[in-house]
Amino acid sequence: MTTTTTPATSSDPAAGTAATAGIERVGVVGSGIMGTGIAELCARSGLDVRVAVFSDASLHRAPQKLAAGLERGVSRGKLTPAARDAALEHVSFTRDLGELADRQLVIEAAKEDLQLKLDLFAVLDKSVEDDDAILATNTSSLPVARLAAATRRPAQVLGLHFFNPVPVLPLVELVPGVRTDAQVTARALAFVRDTLGKQPITTPDRAGFLVNALLFPYLLSAIRMVESGLATAEVVDQGMRQGCSHPMGPLQLADLIGLDTTVSIAQAMYEEFKQPLYAPPSLLLRMVEGGLLGRKSGRGFYTYA
């Protein structure tokens, strides 16, 4: 694992399988929970991964976060020490989006901010040299077609929505936009299934896609219960864990997702559908404004060490 920006080398893409169209060099934009998880997954799959970060601090922290994630895989018996070391060697880090020029697939995993993502796709469109490269977004809720419009190659843009924790959860939502080429969708589906070993489902390009369109009314309803004083977070979570066999209660899950991300997704869905069940509750908005973001900040509906 390095932080150099020397262009990576690989074999001729044509030597790859027809199914994955030789995708061997992957770029990841962002080093948060999702970006780091995607980079880890790709590295564990033997791919050449380059992660673009947004600050010098991230350039220092991102390799540590990646190493910690791989170490967890070893401690849980999911990864051998040799596989961990090999994965670390497959990843490099940079602050320069221009260093993604040779990538065959770039996955944007920045925070849920429409303007930020539009700006990133405009830059990636100019930086990535391969006309056949796929530009993907890991957005949870923003329209893929809108992001694709920021590029001169909308046919090459689609959504690849992974779930947290990325190395563990098997599902990936594949979201083609209205102008995504069918062959691009097929390449991406084969890559997710055959190279990454995940289970892809194809979902419509609408806010929330499929999973979050079902999940977020449930999460927001649980928050409204707490807001109204009907029940505490602990009681709501206990009810869903022990009464419905959910592995995690809705307030615990919101904390894991990040309350700021929960607000962003809810707002995007409310903007599209204008239905009250998608509107973020006032309690949630005040918590985010107060810096209570869940696990990432050490406090949300619960307090974390």
Instruction: State pLDDT tens for residues 20-63.
Output: 458 999 999 999 999 999 999 999 999 999 999 999 999 999 99
Q: Is the pLDDT of residue 12 over 90?
A: no
Contact 284, 294 (CB under 8 A): no
Please give the single-letter amino acid code of residue 300: G
pLDDT, residue 252, reads 98
Which pLDDT value is given to residue 269?
94
What pLDDT is recorded for position 11? Answer: 34
Asked if 128 contacts 135 with a C-beta cutoff of 8 angstroms, the reply is: yes
Determine whether 173 is an active site residue: yes
Of 161, 246, 272, 282, the active-site residue reads: 161
- Asked if residue 14 has pLDDT above 50, the reply is no
Catalytic-labelled residue, pool 212, 246, 264, 289: 212
Instruction: Say which of 58, 140, 141, 264 is annotated catalytic.
Output: 140
pTM as predicted: 0.88
pLDDT tens digits, one per residue of 104-149: 999 999 999 999 999 999 999 999 999 999 999 999 989 999 999 9
Contact criterion met (CB below 8 Å) for 145 and 155: no
- Domains within the chain, CATH numbers bracketed: 13-202 (3.40.50.720), 212-295 (1.10.1040.10)
Cβ neighbours of 170 (radius 10 Å): 10
Residue 212 annotated among the catalytic residues of the structure: yes
The structure tokens 């469109």 sit at 125
Q: Which two tokens mark 39?
A: 């980079």
Residue 100 CB neighbours (<10 A): 25
Chain segment 171-210, per-residue pLDDT in tens: 999 999 999 999 999 999 999 999 999 999 999 999 999 9
Strands 91-94 and 157-162: unpaired
pLDDT for the residue numbered 1: 53
Active-site entry in 173, 264, 282, 289 = 173
Strand ranges in the chain using DSSP code E only, listed in sequence order:
25-29, 48-52, 91-94, 105-108, 134-137, 157-162, 171-176, 199-202
